[in-house]
Amino acid sequence: MTAQPLLSPLPSSLAFQHVQRPAKVLVGGSTLGRLRTERYKSPWQTMLEQSGGSNPLELSTSGRESPLFHLYSLSFDTEQDNRMRQQQEFYLNYGRALRVLREDIPRFFKGAPDTSIFTEDVVFLDHIGPRIGMIFTTVKGRKAYSQHIWLLRFHSSLIFSRCEVEVQRIWERDSRTVAVRWKLRCFPRLLDRSLVNLDGISEYKFNDRGLIYEHTVDIINWDDSRSKKPAQRQLQHSLSTLAC
């Protein structure tokens, strides 16, 4: 069965083009400029020759691949390469973010965290405040996020002699969400104040590039070693100072 062309044969006027190009040749040791008529092949002519002189757009039933098949194949390979590069970028950034979180969370109150694992418009959501009778806190932007963390460390240093954070568990909720279970112990500067213990969880959501675009923090349980009410007032005062 003979293949039917999808389009009409290519006009011969498009197959070849005649142009005049300036060319320099050496004659007797000197360089002379003259015009030379060059007959070059257009892309369509190249495709015609590769297809045996037939229309390069027609379907072939002989098992011979048409030039456009290679073009489509090249486009498909390019898309695959792009997907592979995106996946590689995601897993590289994702793995690095996990390492940074594992290192930064325990020293949260000792130094500034590495914010390069976050997007420029990262959103921080604090669910601890409403659970202890305070307002819900939202911070947007990497710069504002860094300032919020700095204020938290600063005010904590005024109220507590030291704060310790222990990472208890890190797991994946899904392919783009990581949860971290942590325990916080704060030692007050005043002797009549009780030790504050707090169990919390942080949730990090990743975008297609493997960067964190949302950080949510919530409280699981909190208590003190002596009496609960003084610790509650102390914690509320600390967080209210930070919110200001």
Average pLDDT over residues 104-117: 92
3-state secondary structure (DSSP) of residue 59:
coil
Q: What is the pLDDT of residue 26?
A: 47
CA distance 244 to 231: 20
Write out pLDDT tens, residues 48-79.
565 555 554 554 445 555 555 555 555 656 77
Q: Are 212 and 90 in contact (CB under 8 A)?
A: no
Strand partners, 33: 24
The residue type at 195: L
Q: Are 170 and 180 in contact (CB under 8 A)?
A: yes
Q: What is the pLDDT of residue 227?
A: 41
Average pLDDT over residues 108-113: 89
Chain centre distance of CA 208: 5
Pick the CATH number of 86-243 from 1.10.10.10, 3.10.450.50, 3.40.50.720, 3.40.718.10: 3.10.450.50
Q: Report H helices in 55-140.
A: 67-104, 128-131
Residue 44: count of CB within 10 angstroms of its CB: 17
Q: What is the pLDDT of residue 152?
A: 85
Q: What is the pLDDT of residue 198?
A: 86
Band the pLDDT of 83: cuts 50, 70, 90.
Answer: confident
Q: Are 125 and 212 in contact (CB under 8 A)?
A: no
Q: Are 69 and 51 in contact (CB under 8 A)?
A: no
Band the pLDDT of 226: cuts 50, 70, 90.
Answer: very low
Q: Is the pLDDT of residue 98 over 90?
A: yes
* pTM to 2 decimal places: 0.60
Write out pLDDT tens, residues 176-222.
999 999 999 888 887 767 788 889 999 999 999 999 999 999 988 76
Q: What is the pLDDT of residue 137?
A: 79
List, in order, residues 6 or more apart from 65 with CB less than 8 Å away.
none
Closest CA to 98 of 183, 180, 201, 214: 180
Q: Are 196 and 228 in contact (CB under 8 A)?
A: no
